[in-house]
Copies of this chain bind each other. A is one copy, B any other.
Amino acid sequence: MEANKRPLILISNDDGYSAKGINFLAETARQFGDVIVVAPDGPRSGASLAVTFHQPVTWKLIKEEPGLTVYSCSGTPGDSVKLGMARLCPRRPDLVLAGINHGDNSAVNVHYSGTMGVVIEGCLKEIPSIGFSHFSHGWETDFTPMRPYIIKVMEYVLKNGLPKGVCLNVNAPDITEYKGMRIATMGKGIWGKEWDERISPRGWTYCWLVGQFSSSDQPDDPSDWNLMRQGYVTITPTKVDVTAYEMFERLKELEVTD
């Protein structure tokens, strides 16, 4: 970043610009730099890194005060980052933040997460990117106990950066006193019982997506899922290169070459 400028911090989420979590994160980030929020105009939970191809995307200035500008975006979390970077930020952001998400994004949920969609998009654009999520889905969750951990991670990343292709997925359990913070692996497991069936007043069947997650981590795996249950805030270093390099030898027999 330019030496004479405060860091520029771009923040988005998947709960919408008015959610308590993103406003808490924006306030926390303001002490470190100029903050631009570009976030969906309503809830987009489960948006993953979806982007909008089949309709145009629009945006709206919500608020502008010294060090904090807030825009809403008609698109997805991923659209919001793309739009923020290309059109709404006065310069290239030094940091992309997502969250604080109302609901955790540990284990396999990273794949469904709009919060982590923001983070992956920031990372693909080669900007240090961090997602923050809290286990509670409550709309009035008190995020205060999370603040010192957010600050610690943010300070580290602003100072040291992150290697190209690596971003951070930070998750906090729903307790008021944390045991500490640990580096974690992505937990393993399976979602089941995913559909809640209803009958409409007109007699046809529809389903709501719900589900129960069964962890398949061993009890002593240092996974985000396990460590959160032990009372830790977890940091899962996450990479965008999803190549399964260990499969190359095994799949050799599928190759067709001259």
Interface set of A (CB-CB < 8 Å, partner B)? 43, 45-54, 56-58, 75-76, 78-79, 82-83, 86-87, 108, 110-112, 114, 117, 120, 124-126, 149, 152-153, 156, 163, 165-166, 179-183, 185-186, 188, 190-191, 194-195, 198, 204-209, 233, 235-245, 247-248, 251-258
Can you list 30 A-B pairs with a CB-CB distance of less than 8 A?
A46-B52, A48-B51, A48-B117, A51-B112, A52-B209, A57-B195, A57-B206, A58-B204, A75-B209, A78-B112, A82-B195, A86-B194, A86-B195, A87-B195, A111-B120, A111-B124, A111-B240, A125-B190, A126-B190, A156-B254, A165-B188, A166-B247, A179-B257, A179-B258, A183-B251, A185-B241, A235-B251, A237-B251, A238-B243, A239-B242
Cα–Cα, bound, A240→B239 (Å) = 11
Known contacts A108-B240, A117-B48: A82-B194 contact under CB 8 Å: yes
Chain B residues with Cβ under 8 A from A236's Cβ? Answer: 243
Known contacts A57-B209, A86-B194, A195-B83: A241-B188 contact under CB 8 Å: yes
Chain B residues with Cβ under 8 A from A244's Cβ? Answer: 166, 237-239
Chain B residues with Cβ under 8 A from A255's Cβ? Answer: 180-183
Most buried by B among A47, A198, A204: A47
Chain B residues with Cβ under 8 A from A241's Cβ? Answer: 185-186, 188
Contact B254 A58 (CB under 8 A): no
Contact A207 B53 (CB under 8 A): no
Chain B residues with Cβ under 8 A from A247's Cβ? Answer: 163, 166, 183, 237
Chain B residues with Cβ under 8 A from A239's Cβ? Answer: 242-244
Q: Which B-chain residue is minimally distant from A195 (CB atoms)? A: B86
Partner of A48 from the list B48, B87, B166, B253 (CB cut-off 8 Å) is: B48
Q: Which B-chain residue is minimally distant from A178 (CB atoms)? A: B256
Contact A111 B49 (CB under 8 A): yes
Q: Which B-chain residue is minimally distant from A245 (CB atoms)? A: B185
Contact B53 A50 (CB under 8 A): no
Contact B111 A183 (CB under 8 A): no
Cα–Cα, bound, A63→B11 (Å) = 46
